[in-house]
Amino acid sequence: MKKTMKATAAAALFSFAAATSAIADGHAWAPEGPIKMMIAFAAGGGADTHARLIAEDIEASLGWEVIPEQVTGKGGVNALVALKDMPADGSAIALVVTESLGYNAAAAKGAGVSPSDFTGLTTTAGFQMGVVAKADKGWTSFEDMIVAAKGGELRFGTMSPKLSDLAFLLGEAQGVEFNIVQVRGGRAVMDGVEAGDMDLGFMAGIQGKGVASGDLVNLASALSGPLKQTPDAPTFADLGVQFSADGYFVFVAPAGMDDAARDAITAAIAEATNSGKASGMINKAFGGAVNIQGAELDALLQSDFDSAGQLMEAVQ
Amino acid sequence: MGVWDHVIAGVLAVFQSDPVLGVPITILMVLGGFLLGITVGATPGLAGPMAMAISLPILISVFGYSNDALLPVLGFLIGIMKGATIGGAVPAILFNTPGTPDAYMTTLDGYPMAQKGEAKRALRVAHFSSASGDTFSDIVLVLCAPFLAILVESYLDLPEKTALLILSLAFIASVIGNSVGKGLISMGLGLLAAMVATGEDFYPRLTLGQPALAEGIPIAAAILGVLILGEVFKALEDIHHNGVFSSAAQTVRQDAKVGTLGLRKLLPYIGRSAVIGTCIGALPGVGSTLAATLGYTSAKRRHTKEKEPGAPDFGEGAPEGIAATEAANSSVSGANLIPVLSLGIPGNAAAVFLILAMDSIGGFNPGPSVFQLGGGISAGALNPEMVMAFGIFTTMFVANGLNWTIGGMFMRSVGVMARIPKERLLPIVLLLTLTAIYVQETSMVAVWITLFFGFVGYAMRRIDMSPLPFVIAFILGGNLEATARQAFAATGADPFFLFNSPIALAFIALAVAVVIFSLRKPAS
């Protein structure tokens, strides 16, 4: 408790400092009207909640009016298509995942979106993508699960085509066949695992509380590195899969955005992810904020888009 | 965290919502909705769902999409839903014109009573029975919905859930309206509309290459178009053909003498009708009109056997007739939230708009996960959706309280609404609906889509096809496809996944049986 108090105090101090420095700048950009924040995720899930909290935090600290709106479907591609032709004056932004601009944009050829159509603002948090099962399955390690999978088909919940591909490759590498059930959103995977509709599934951080309380188990890390919460779990590379589910939630705006607007909105979002209500939620659900911005973000988005084809080929 | 923590948190969410003029906003909204509902119910030509449809986009534009918006908005809609049911009795008793279809049976005894100078007594009987039926139904809802949801989640696997959805759709298509065939066609069209641009593929299907359709048909546009505009177009045409309606405005002899209610005699009728209405409300797709009819007929049978000599027969001004009808049609409103909250399946038009509100605002996804303790995150945390569910229950009881206290008083003062001529009312409804759509979707395309579905709804009414199966199928379509897809994948791509477990097989057999059984029933 004391620790959280300290953290909150530090965060408050930080935000105060950031706010005053913004005012001190004197030429702070501000939107002319409300900012439309499109959220590419189902209402009520972790991604949606953190976006809405960020919107609230920005309203509270800067007085900008931010209107969240759900534009779901097609793994974020619908939101990207909707955003693409909006004015690039800061009046419209969208929260998607890096995968939306990578694998999904590459797979949805008809939609005609690519990273060059957008201005990347900042990532908010990385996925703590684990392969998760309910503790009362009795599996304490990845091997236990594979033994069970050899005895009978297991249902593997995923929330995107890319993750379905990864689940397939994981099964192939381990010599088992999963029944891959693709649902909408990480919350749906967790509900499915909790309710017994699925035996295991990908969860991108939403499993944090459950793992901490011992209800859920991280069997493996689907990332290129270990999970923060369960560092001992094997990574996908350890398990013979060449690809990973590394990814981030990312805010984007239409291409051709003015630098002052880009910097101001980026700073506002980044600040919200590190202070206030959004920060608390991000710490709990996604293991802390990750703010990749500017040129670094541009490069990340482009390379994800370019490498999407390799994964699709591997699955063929 | 146990169930009680959720109950308390839910109640507090209502009573500790931001106060406006010293009253928590949610309670104020329930009150507003309730008064509007009575007024609308008392106006022939308007119905509760219509008022809910028009209010929803306006409410959303006022309250926004935050989690705090959910309870005030739902409170308002629930207020309308409950108010409209009791309001419908007013013109039925005073002017022999039912304000809502389910109040038709009330005219049979209400109007003769009014003619005999017992209008006030009739209104009081209607109010008392309505409020009792409503309260009973809400209690059943609170006791059953969580239990049923948990039962569903623990016994039904993905194939069984798919089969249950198919069964609900079959049931809805068969019971609503006069013709099973038309019901099935209506349902099929709804599923077709739901298929546009959805699905797992990255390519939006069935959009004919129209970018405007790439996100699918806006749910509010389709529903308001079919339900409201269709009705308005049809009514305008009727007025055009039949000349201007003279709204029924016979003067009624009002008697100051109210007389005793004779509660002891009425209670058995109320109790029986409340049970009938609650059972019917819990079945998806069977509306309050059928409940009212069944309540009335069963009471009539009992009355002919047991009435005291000299008491009026049913149809000649028996208060028991009003009591039976009003208790039955009011007890539907609570129970029809049982399938909404536990399965995400709307039972009637009013429930459609509650689901639409939850869907538009977000943060609450009706279905079995609502009542999971811990909300799946961990055993130690409150499940926000369950808190919200108990918040919704609280608003229903607040509406109940209003019904008992000020409902009767307000009800007796809105009789004047029945005199508004339809030809003035309908253009206003048309304008309000289109404005409401534009406010919510902020695009002209949505308005065109609404008009298109308005004509679909008009055509359906012209050929005597109920639009309700269309609407419910449209809402459930996405869910049905997703569940079926998941069930197929989860069973290792087994094409016979619907027939492999006894429960799923039983549901499918029932679905077929309900269609065949309804086909054999002589058309009424």
DSSP string across B274-302: HHHHHHHHHSTT--HHHHHHHHHHHHHHH
Residue A164 CA to residue B395 CA, distance in Å, equals: 42
To 5 degrees, how large is the angle CA B33–CA B36–CA B39? 150
What is the rounded average pLDDT of the residues A136-157? 93
Is A45 inside a domain boundary? Answer: yes
Q: Same domain, yes or no, for A27 and A72?
A: yes
Q: Same domain, yes or no, for A11 and A149?
A: no
Q: What is the total count of domains within chain A?
A: 2
**Inter-chain contact B380–A213, Cβ cutoff 8 Å?**
yes
Task: Indicate whether this model's pTM tops 0.90.
Answer: no
Q: Same domain, yes or no, for A54 and A150?
A: no
Q: Same domain, yes or no, for A94 and A204?
A: no
Chain A / chain B CB contacts < 8 angstroms: 106
pLDDT at B286: 62
Domain termination residue (choose one: A174, A205, A221): A221
Say if residue B63's pLDDT is above 70.
yes
Q: For residue A90, give both structure tokens.
A: 């800061």
A106, A308 contact by CB (below 8 A): yes
Strands A216-221 and A200-203: unpaired
Residue A252 CA to residue A257 CA, distance in Å, equals: 10
Q: Which amino acid is at A308?
A: A
pLDDT at B248: 45
What is the rounded average pLDDT of the residues B111-128? 86
The winner for highest mean pLDDT among B59-63, B368-372, B432-436, B506-510 is B506-510
Say if residue A8's pLDDT is above 70.
no
Phi, psi dihedrals of residue A287, rounded to the nearest 5°: 70, 30
The winner for highest mean pLDDT among A24-38, A74-88, B243-257, B452-466 is B452-466
Structural domain including A162 reads: 130-221
Q: Same domain, yes or no, for A20 and A99?
A: yes
Domain ranges of chain B: 3-250+260-520
Q: Same domain, yes or no, for A52 and A201?
A: no
Q: Same domain, yes or no, for A123 and A169?
A: no
Residue B199 CA to residue B421 CA, distance in Å, equals: 46
A161 touches chain B (CB under 8 A): yes
Within the 81-110 window of chain A, which residues sit less than 8 Å (CB to CB) from chain B? Answer: 81-82, 104, 107-110
Q: Same domain, yes or no, for A92 and A204?
A: no
With CA atoms as reference, report the closest residue to B84 among B49, B58, B133: B49
pLDDT at A191: 81
DSSP label of A141:
S
Is A114 inside a domain boundary? Answer: yes
**Inter-chain contact A209–B216, Cβ cutoff 8 Å?**
no
Residue B324 CA to residue A30 CA, distance in Å, equals: 63
Residue A141 CA to residue B497 CA, distance in Å, equals: 31
Q: Same domain, yes or no, for A75 and A156?
A: no
Is A291 inside a domain boundary? Answer: yes
Phi, psi dihedrals of residue B356, rounded to the nearest 5°: -60, -40
Q: For residue B165, give both structure tokens.
A: 């959805």
Dihedral of the CA atoms A80, A85, A89, A95 (nearest 10)? -10
- Write out chain B residues lying below 8 Å of A69, CB-based: 65
B376 touches chain A (CB under 8 A): yes
Q: Same domain, yes or no, for A135 and A118?
A: no
Residue B42 CA to residue B289 CA, distance in Å, equals: 16
pLDDT at B282: 81
With CA atoms as reference, report the closest residue to B117 among B307, B11, B252, B284: B252
B379 touches chain A (CB under 8 A): yes
Q: Which amino acid is at A6?
A: K
Is A172 inside a domain boundary? Answer: yes
**Inter-chain contact A44–B363, Cβ cutoff 8 Å?**
yes
Q: Locate the DSSP E strands across A63-184.
A: 66-70, 92-97, 118-126, 130-134, 154-158, 178-182
Say if residue B411's pLDDT is above 60.
yes
Residue B404 CA to residue B67 CA, distance in Å, equals: 30
Q: Which amino acid is at B465?
A: M
Say if residue B355's pLDDT is above 70.
yes
- Write out chain B residues lying below 8 Å of A111, CB-based: 202
Q: Which residues make Cβ contacts (< 8 Å) with residue B117, sequence separation at least 6?
A: B253, B254, B255, B257
**Inter-chain contact B215–A82, Cβ cutoff 8 Å?**
yes
Percent of chain A with pLDDT over 90: 51
Phi, psi dihedrals of residue B52, rounded to the nearest 5°: -65, -40
Is A240 inside a domain boundary? Answer: no
Strands A200-203 and A154-158: parallel
A223, A239 contact by CB (below 8 A): no
Q: Same domain, yes or no, for A136 and A34?
A: no
Within the 448-477 window of chain B, which residues sit less than 8 Å (CB to CB) from chain A? Answer: none
What is the rounded average pLDDT of the residues B249-260? 48
Is A236 inside a domain boundary? Answer: no
List the CATH number of the domain containing A161. Answer: 3.40.190.10
**Inter-chain contact A73–B365, Cβ cutoff 8 Å?**
no
Is A78 inside a domain boundary? Answer: yes
pLDDT at A26: 43
Residue A106 CA to residue A97 CA, distance in Å, equals: 14
**Inter-chain contact B489–A179, Cβ cutoff 8 Å?**
yes
Residue B283 CA to residue B332 CA, distance in Å, equals: 10
**Inter-chain contact B490–A67, Cβ cutoff 8 Å?**
no
Percentages (nearest 5) of helix, strand, coil residues in chain A: 50, 20, 30
Which region among A259-268, B3-12, B146-155 has the lowest average model confidence (pLDDT)?
A: B146-155
Q: For residue A187, give both structure tokens.
A: 């919350």
Q: What SS3 state is found at B399? A: helix
Q: Same domain, yes or no, for A119 and A160?
A: no
Q: Could you tell me if the ipTM is greater than 0.90? A: no
pLDDT at B521: 66
